A and B are shown apart, each in its own frame.
Chain A
Amino acid sequence: MSGDHQERDRYELFDRYLRGELAEPEMERLAELLDSDATARQAFYEQAEWDTAMTEALQDNTSAATNRKFIGDKSGSARAVPYPNAVLAIAGVIMLTLATILLFQQPSEQLQIARITGLSGSHAWTGDAGQVVRALSVGMRLSGGTVEGLAPDSWLELEFTDGTSISMSGNSMLTYSDQGQKEIHLREGTMTADVKPQPADRPLLVHTRSAMLEVLGTQFEVEAAIASTMLNVNDGKVRIVRLTDGSTVDVPAKHRVTAAPGFELTPVLVPNSVGNWKSTLHLGPTGTMGNWVPPSQDGKARLAAIPYVATLSRNRALTLYSTGFGVSHGENPPVVLHQDSVLKVRGRLTSNHAMYFGVTLRHLSGEPAGKFQTVKPASEFEVGQSFEAVLTIREFRLVPTLIPLKHQLPADPFGLVVESFWCHTLKHDAGLEITEVELVSPHHAMPE
């Protein structure tokens, strides 16, 4: 490699680090470089120095002028800040104004009916008058509105003031309200609910495109697609009304029912869980998120990653290129992870980037159990070649965004139901295509 290329590579490594773009293996490389090479340390320092100076110089005149006013004369003439207390007072006023603006960005306090108790991945909340908040955080109180999961790995849990909690995962979208009676409109996707006892004349109502559910107090999961609704009751009883013909049935605990044309509206026992599962991309894209490519003479059906924008804060977002597979969904039995479980992911990449593999989990009782993931460095994949990533479930860890909730979530993924599997690259489109995902649990092959 020529000296110029080496210089540019090193420059880009520093540049990407200064913008938070490095994956962990690259961070390790950078730490080693700085530890072992004095020239690299100097180059890093100088690049940080130039970069910061250029950022400040290129910022627009207004903010530059404000900064100069606050910090004194940057030209080095040592002009004193004449009235530091006054400057601080002004800063205080600015901060107060900003705080006021932020306060007004929050949903109106009078209408707050729910609180976010768990969150991971990217979401958007739309409230009254179309106000949209993308930088959601745990503890935020919300008025009635619509929450949308923006990526396959999105997961959000809301708690109403009476302790009833609902959670949604993946690319789901639901609208909720509570004007004396709780109502949820699940447009699409999956939600689970743990409903505290409701007044007999005002049950919690869940509306989907194809069914309506009446709930007085129970635990259940609902999966809504365009023409079908799958209800899985874990505890208590839920009444479901099929909208196409008005037929009604009560679904008891440990039973499920599918409301869709052509399906008998009869509750059946939830099948026993299984430890093995394999994707069925050759049959079509049902239950997947991504760009499905049918099988051809050239090869198998595959699922290509599509970009999702994840909002990290008010002014910061990052793009992830993701694919997702529903695992325990529809008529399938619940798929459970065990200590000996291994995930085999087959696919291909067109450029080298670290890959994130993860699962969204729930308890057998239906309660959400968070998301676990493992990351594989770019060096483990050969560009343009098919890969098979063999991932033992033991190496999966709670995703970093859920670590603050770790005391409420299981410490490991064993014994939990896999709601979905997802994998993605961060910030860079690596041309990721998945041809098959397989979960193998050698000692738990049969239904349990």
Chain B
Amino acid sequence: MPTITRADYAGKTQNFVHDDRHRLVLKQMDETEAKRARVLKEALRCRTALTMYARSLLGNYEAAEDAVQEAMLVVVNKFDQYAEGTSMLAWCRAIVRLEVLRARERSRREQSLPQRLLDDAIDATFDEFQTEQRNEDMQSWNKALLACLGRLSERSRLVLRSRVVDELSYDQIAVRTGMTIEGVRKALFRGRKQVRSCVETSLRGMS
């Protein structure tokens, strides 16, 4: 069914806008648009947390971003089904879960039994640890994280970037950097530990 916007409605009914019935309709439309904006804003604040969830199921950052993008379009279309006051993160996560299934169908990947078991375990893990508060906390890391990444040596940053952004395998990174595979594995492990400890120290200092 085509959606009629407030502007369309007001334009078509301008001669009768003084009518109480039309005023009521316009008021309801204002409320609907306001809710849509609220829901979308809240959903967008969960985007990183949702990407992280989708990535944990899909094993690929880019595919996870696509699934979250699709989920956001669902949020826009189904915003009226969200019960305000309940967990936005949980509502969006359920939508993302469906988008993950659709993404798998599109890529024609039939799920094996180990993958299904793992999906269940990951869902349980996210139910246990992913909270609204944690999502808010995560967003507050960003500045500290950027500063701490800037403190890494150029080589460590290249290794880290090759893995987390370019998604190269350990041996491909070894070729790119001229390091041994064992050297790459160690550098990744240490580099991440270093960044995490730096961010935690910065956040403690700020608080």
Contact = CB atoms under 8 A, between A and B. Distances in A.
A228 to B, nearest CB: 37
Contacts, number: 159
B142 interface: yes
Interface string A1-44: 00000001001100101111110110110110011000001101
B42 to A, nearest CB: 10
A411 interface: no
Given A18-B56, A51-B164, A315 B41 contact: no
A54 B76 contact: no
A55 B54 CA distance: 14
Interface in B164-203: 164-165, 167, 169, 171, 185, 188-189, 192, 195-196
Given A17-B118, A45-B128, A52-B51, 5 more contacts: A28-B114, A50-B195, A52-B52, A59-B165, A76-B140
A21 B171 CA distance: 13
Q: Is the interface of A mostly helix, strand, loop or mixed?
A: helix
Interface in B98-140: 107-110, 112, 114-115, 117-118, 120-122, 124-126, 128-130, 134, 136, 138-140
Interface of A: 8, 11-12, 15, 17-22, 24-25, 27-28, 30-31, 34-35, 41-42, 44-45, 48-59, 70-72, 74-76, 78, 80-81, 84, 88, 138, 312-313, 315-316, 319, 400-401, 403-404, 427-429
A72 B114 contact: no
Contact of A30 (B62, B118, B164): B118
A75 to B, nearest CB: 6
Contacts of B138: 49, 53
Given A74-B142, A76-B139, A24 B112 contact: yes
B36 interface: yes
A15 B170 CA distance: 11
A336 to B, nearest CB: 28
B61 interface: yes
Given A31-B114, A49-B138, A76-B136, A84 B37 contact: yes
Contacts of B52: 48-49, 51-52
Contact of B161 (A22, A24, A58, A84): A58
Given A31-B114, A31-B117, A41 B58 contact: no
A1 to B, nearest CB: 15
Nearest to B47: A71
Given A31-B114, A53-B142, A48 B60 contact: no
5 contacts: A49-B52, A51-B55, A57-B145, A316-B62, A404-B108
Contacts of B169: 19, 21, 319, 427-428
A45 B130 contact: yes
Query: How extensive is the interface on chain B, given as a class?
Result: 35 or more
Contacts of A401: 108
Nearest to B192: A50
Interface in B21-41: 36-37, 40-41
A200 to B, nearest CB: 41
Nearest to B36: A84
B66 to A, nearest CB: 10
Contact of B164 (A21, A25, A31, A58): A58
A11 B160 CA distance: 14
A57 B146 contact: yes
B41 A80 contact: yes
A52 B121 contact: no
B44 interface: yes
A370 B131 CA distance: 46
B128 A41 contact: yes
A84 B40 contact: yes
A74 B126 contact: no
B48 interface: yes
A265 B45 CA distance: 74
B61 A55 contact: yes
